[in-house]
Chain A
Amino acid sequence: MEEYALSVKGDGDVKIALAGRLVIGNVARFMEEMERLFRDRRPTSVTCELADLVYLDSAGALALLRLQDSVKKHDFPLIYENMSREAREIMDLIDRDALVRPPLHDETTDHSFTVRVGETAFNFYHDLIDVLTFLGELLMAVAYCIFHPGAVRWRDVLFYMKKAGAEALPIVGLISLLIGLIMAFMSSLQLKQFGANIFVASLVGIAIVKELGPIMTAIIVSGRSGSAFAAEIATMMVNEEVDALATMGFDPLRFLAIPKVLAAIIVVPVLTLYSMLFGILGGLLVGVIGLDLTFYTYLQETFKPIELFDVASSLVKSVVFAVLIAGIGCQRGFQVRGGAEAVGEATTSAVVAAIFLVIVADSAFAIVLQYIR
């Protein structure tokens, strides 16, 4: 049983005998009792006999020390007598200075909303500069590689083409199929009312070829490969592998980022085309099965409004998206300083930033293409 026992004698010069065990479980009660005692009896001096104190843990020792400090307020001395050797050693362990020393760092105070908005804006701005600088260096390096193909690590390019391209075919195909399907179905609900089911085909076709194909592909590639690139490079940063490459005289950008970006440039347009086909196929399924259109009619109506220019401009868009996705993935990876948490953050940030930049680029394209026509 973890208990202590207090016996009190005298008035004015009060003698207290503390027996038993003073431990973390009963320390609060002990201090309360002693404080009450001091208030009620108003002693002129207190002697505390500790011979029968069988056991004291660090919380108990802390309590005895705190009591001594607190009676200074009441202006009478508190003396401990006959402390056992073990108890004294435990008391000696406590560094009294540490109890009152202020912390080296202030507690993180919650800044006001305005400050936080300002900070975020600043960080966003600096980040934008970093990203633009990196993309600039990347484009220079890509241009260099086009004229010096011998400098490229083609084995790595093939490896990433397989990971980012071939392995993405199932999911890109499935999602494009479903999107085409859903689009056809939803639009038919409206067009049915006007007996205009035939227009489902061209609606799905134009949407998929001009916008949804490139965007859906970009989003999927960014989730699959943008994050993978960021995680791979981030982990290499943490393991000092990037430092090792630098000290061996390699340029980490050329060694690590270029193969990934080149692979993306080759593979994303192909995936986009593939996505367009599957999107149209999804619409086709709805058209033929749900809307009683014939296979031939549906396809004819699909391709009627689509010009080569549309397909070509979408492929150009997809190349730009590829550079953005792979580029941001690598940039986030290279930014990492720290451990596992930083790797996770970089990976998430790569995906989010890539999607954001893809949408911004897409809007820019929409405006430019409008004027080119």
Chain B
Amino acid sequence: MEDQNIISVENLVAGYGDNIILTGVNFQIRRGEIFIILGGSGCGKSTLLKYMIGLYRTTRGRVMINGADIMSVDDKKMKSLRLGFGVLFQSGALIGSMTLAENVALPLSRRRDIPEELRNLIVRMKLGMVDLAGYDNHYPAELSGGMKKRAGLARAMVLDPTILFFDEPTAGLDPVTSTEIYNLIRRINVDLGTTMVIVTHDLDLIMSIGQRAIMLDRAAQGIIAEGTPRMLKENRDNPGVFNFFNRENQGDGHYGA
């Protein structure tokens, strides 16, 4: 029977020397869910993400993805594991010297068994999924911020990965474009069953599409709350969590819970 948890982080210690950012982080992510990692600035959420995608390594703690501990696998196994997940970086991280089509085709080029014609079709299909049909020959510098993120998403999705990681997908976007991104994420999750791991502090995103979340805190160097967004919003025991979710505009320019 397939393990319900697709990702499991166990006792992870992030940081080194005098610069420990997180200690003893433990949580699981279920297959097919939209999982949010949130917290204030500097709490270590982007750092945690980098450990989860294997950009940082450590011997203290384990990160299990589909049953394999990515902190201790060899390079070859890591490369094959990487084919199974996609990452959308904060600014899209498109290679500036390549066109959109070439960028999206990059993960495809890792496999030798796909003929060029099929490759082109797949690229067109993915660009279409993110509403960027026709932009094949555009360079990243010619695109707006939102378009770059969508292109980055197309690239992350091109091999139909089982897990998609997002680092602040709506940072710097206007509300309308942000909503487009939420809908895109939800649609992919529903249609393809992809597990989504999203690092964000966009409350709208968290409340509208988040299914489960953990909140990190810099002072606590770890998780201070876990549950559905609704649970976190109603959690009156922890003022830090409550204030994060319940800041409301009280009309005269003041914000408060």
Give the interface of A toward B (CB within 8 A): 235-236, 239-241, 243-250
Contacts and interface: CB of A to CB of B under 8 A. Distances in A.
A150 to B, nearest CB: 9
Interface stretch (B81-89, B173-181, B185-193, B218-226): B81-89
Given A239-B91, A241-B93, A247 B53 contact: yes
B110 A243 contact: no
A248 B54 contact: no
Nearest to B81: A249
Interface string B63-102: 0000000000000000110110111011101111000000
A249 B79 contact: yes
A241 B110 CA distance: 17
Contact of A249 (B82, B89, B94, B155): B82
A243 B106 contact: no
A248 B107 contact: yes
Contact of A244 (B79, B83, B87): B87
B96 A247 contact: no
B95 A249 contact: no
B106 A241 contact: no
Contacts of B90: 240
Query: Which 7 A-B residue pairs are closest in the complex by CB-CB distance?
Result: A244-B93, A249-B82, A240-B93, A249-B79, A247-B87, A240-B89, A248-B107
B118 interface: no
B116 to A, nearest CB: 14
A240 B82 contact: no
Contacts of A248: 82, 106-107, 110, 155
A243 B47 CA distance: 13
25 contacts: A235-B96, A236-B96, A239-B96, A240-B89, A240-B90, A240-B91, A240-B93, A241-B93, A241-B95, A243-B50, A243-B55, A243-B89, A244-B94, A246-B55, A247-B54, A247-B55, A247-B85, A248-B82, A248-B107, A248-B110, A249-B82, A249-B107, A249-B110, A250-B106, A250-B110
Contacts of B110: 248-250
Given A247-B53, A249-B80, A249-B110, 20 more contacts: A236-B95, A236-B96, A240-B89, A240-B90, A240-B91, A240-B93, A241-B93, A241-B95, A241-B96, A243-B89, A244-B95, A245-B95, A245-B106, A246-B55, A247-B54, A247-B55, A248-B82, A248-B106, A249-B79, A249-B83
A248 B93 CA distance: 12
A267 to B, nearest CB: 19
Contacts of A250: 106, 110
B164 to A, nearest CB: 11
Given A246-B55, A248-B106, A248-B110, A239 B93 contact: yes
Nearest to B87: A247
A244 B82 contact: no
With a 10 A CB-CB cut-off, give which of B54, B85, B90, B93 has the most chain A CB atoms.
Answer: B93
A248 B111 CA distance: 11
A240 B83 CA distance: 19
B82 A243 contact: no
A246 to B, nearest CB: 6
Contacts of A244: 87, 89, 93-95, 152
Contacts of A240: 89-91, 93
A246 B95 CA distance: 12
Contacts of A247: 53-55, 82, 85-87
A247 B110 CA distance: 12
B228 to A, nearest CB: 29
A317 to B, nearest CB: 31
Contacts of B91: 239-240
Contacts of B55: 243, 246-247
Interface in B184-229: none
Contacts of A245: 95, 106
B161 to A, nearest CB: 10
Nearest to B95: A241
Contacts of A243: 50, 55, 89, 93
Contact of A241 (B79, B80, B85, B94): B94
A251 to B, nearest CB: 8
Nearest to B112: A150
A246 B70 CA distance: 14
B172 to A, nearest CB: 14
B101 to A, nearest CB: 15
Contacts of A246: 55
Interface in B105-160: 106-107, 110, 152, 155
Nearest to B110: A249
Contacts of B50: 243
A235 B110 CA distance: 24
With a 10 A CB-CB cut-off, give which of B50, B85, B95 has the most chain A CB atoms.
Answer: B95
Contacts of A236: 95-96
A246 B107 CA distance: 11
A238 B110 CA distance: 24
Contacts of A241: 93-96
With a 10 A CB-CB cut-off, give which of A240, A241, A247 has the most chain B CB atoms.
Answer: A247
B234 to A, nearest CB: 33
A293 to B, nearest CB: 50
Contacts of B53: 247
B56 to A, nearest CB: 10
